[in-house]
Amino acid sequence: QRYCQDVYRGQLASVHSAARNQELQKLAQTYHIISPWIGAVTSRRAGQWKSYWEDSSPWNYANWAPTHPLHIVTTCTTLSIRDGLWRSRFCFQLRPFICQY
């Protein structure tokens, strides 16, 4: 997120529809990259697990893979180039990312 902000003056991508999810999946497939980061984070807030967008936009769409998001520690989210589903990952992993600006 910080790299996206500092270098591109943007935010990690937030996804608010199935059409946008598919568009981003196709974009990632074009570059043959591993599943990139998008801007969803899941963490425990006030005793409950919540997912939210880094850009503070409304949480009005989700496309989680079965058993995701994980509710163990705070996690970041990848968009699968194979099936378009979202998966929780440890935030320290180095991965490509989709930045919107």
Question: What is the arithmetic mean of pLDDT over 13-21?
Answer: 97
Q: Residue 50 in contact with residue 5, Cβ under 8 Å?
A: no
Q: Under CATH, which architecture does the 2-100 domain have?
A: Roll (3.10)
Chain segment 32-89, per-residue pLDDT in tens: 778 999 999 999 988 899 999 999 999 999 999 999 999 999 999 999 999 999 999 9
Residue 37's φ and ψ, nearest 5 degrees, are: -70, 140
pLDDT at 93 > cutoff 80 = yes
Q: Residue 82 in contact with residue 22, Cβ under 8 Å?
A: no
DSSP string, 27-65: HHHHTTPSPPEEEEEEEEETTEEEEEETT--------BP
> Of how many residues is the chain composed?
101
The model's pTM:
0.91
